Amino acid sequence: MYTVKKLSILAGVSVRTLHYYDQIGLLKPAKIAENGYRQYDNVALLRLQQILFYRELDFKLKDIKELLDAPGFEQVSALENHWDALWARLARTERLIKTVEDTIQHLKGEKEMTKKKLFAAFSEEEQSAYAKKAEEQYDPETVRASNRKWKNYSAEKKQEILDEGNQVYVDMIAAMPQGADSAEVQAIVERWSAHMDYFWRPNLDQLLGLATMYGQSPDFKKNFDSMHPDLADFFREAVRIYVDSQSG
């Protein structure tokens, strides 16, 4: 058995956090000792590990609780999903580092970069991550299906998809002076919506939620701001107009 203090040291979280997790029913102790101290067993340790993995992937506490308490929750399957997500994050970080290095050399006049390569790090794997976040209740089966779909593509097809996705952002930036309601911009939004089918098929509300996330999530907005400071807000407005037109 582990006391709150021992578990805090072991897991690297504060005692206050563990108390709060107990309070909201996210992580209950195995039992309360006669002296009133909380005591945690190995089952609680594994649950805490799951909580910390989901927190690392930016899940909200209420969503984590619903996932862990769901009748069909299975730890090995969850860990496999964490493994996929963390490796995807690592791969994305490596791409960002490479793009930063190449851009520095480009600005110093040491190498040339095409416009497409400037956006090479902002891959459709990241777009897939946005899509997952837009899913209602982070439906695990939809996420797994999206992962399976991506893994079934050949290396050549994956690169083709990434290039096509990057071109959407390049074309959107070029078309921004035309206005969010222009025919050119709306055609680009239509391409973006169709492009999402490589991963999953969002409905209109999810499309707008996804576009809204571009400007609200700090990490994602940072990426869009690096492409163009107004891109995230412009993209959302363009998608809002598109969704309104499709809803009518």
What CATH number corresponds to the domain at position 51? 1.10.1660.10
Q: Do 98 and 47 fall into the same domain?
A: no
Q: Are residues 41 and 85 in the same domain?
A: no
Query: For 18-31, how does the pLDDT look when each residue is reduced to its tens digit (9 = 90+)?
Result: 999 999 999 999 99
86 and 188 housed in the same domain: yes
Q: How far apart are CA 137 and CA 36, in angstroms?
A: 35
* Residue 3 DSSP class: E
115 and 15 inside one domain: no
| pLDDT tens digits for range 151-189 | 788 878 887 888 788 788 888 988 999 999 999 999 999
Task: Determine the Cα–Cα distance for residues 87 and 180; give it in Å rounded to an integer.
Answer: 36
pLDDT at 91: 66
- Which is more confident, 154 or 99? 154
CATH number for 150: 1.10.490.50
Cα pseudo-dihedral 245, 239, 165, 174, rounded to 10: 100
Query: Is residue 6 domain-shared with residue 107, that is, in the same domain?
Result: no
- Tell whether the model's pLDDT for residue 137 goes beyond 60: no
pLDDT digits over 68-85, tens only? Answer: 888 878 877 777 776 766
Do 37 and 107 lie in a common domain? Answer: no
Residue 28's contacts (CB-CB under 8 Å, 6 or more residues apart) are 22, 44
100 or 32, higher pLDDT? 32
Residues 56 and 79 placed together within one structural domain of the fold: no
Q: Residue 89 — very low, low, confident or very high, per pLDDT cuts 50/70/90?
A: low
45 shares a domain with 107: no
Mean of all residue pLDDT scores within the chain: 80
Cα separation, 54 vs 50, in Å, equals 6
pTM for the model: 0.49
Q: Which of 42, 69, 96 is the last residue before a domain boundary? A: 69
Whether residues 60 and 89 fall in one domain: no
Contact between 194 and 144 under an 8 Å Cβ cutoff? The reply is no
Residue 51: count of CB within 10 angstroms of its CB: 22
Token pair 């399976």 is found at 148
Average pLDDT over residues 123-140: 51
Domain final residue pick, 51, 69, 87: 69
212 has pLDDT over 50: yes
Task: Return the pLDDT at 136.
Answer: 43
Q: Tell me which of 13, 46, 69 is where a domain ends.
A: 69
Regarding whether 193 and 112 lie in a shared domain, the answer is yes
In DSSP terms, 31 is beta-bridged to 39
Range of the domain at 151: 75-247
Torsion of CA 162, 163, 167, 168, to 10 degrees: -30
Is residue 241's pLDDT more than 60? yes
The per-residue b/e assignment along 196-232, b for 16 or more CB within 10 angstroms, e otherwise, is: bebbbebeeebbbbbbbbbbebeebbebbebbeeebb
Q: What is the mean pLDDT of residues 123-148?
A: 55
Same domain? 171 vs 209: yes
The answer to whether 227 touches 119, Cβ cutoff 8 Å, is: yes
In terms of domains, do 148 and 223 share one?
A: yes
pLDDT for the residue 141: 62
Number of domains in the chain: 2
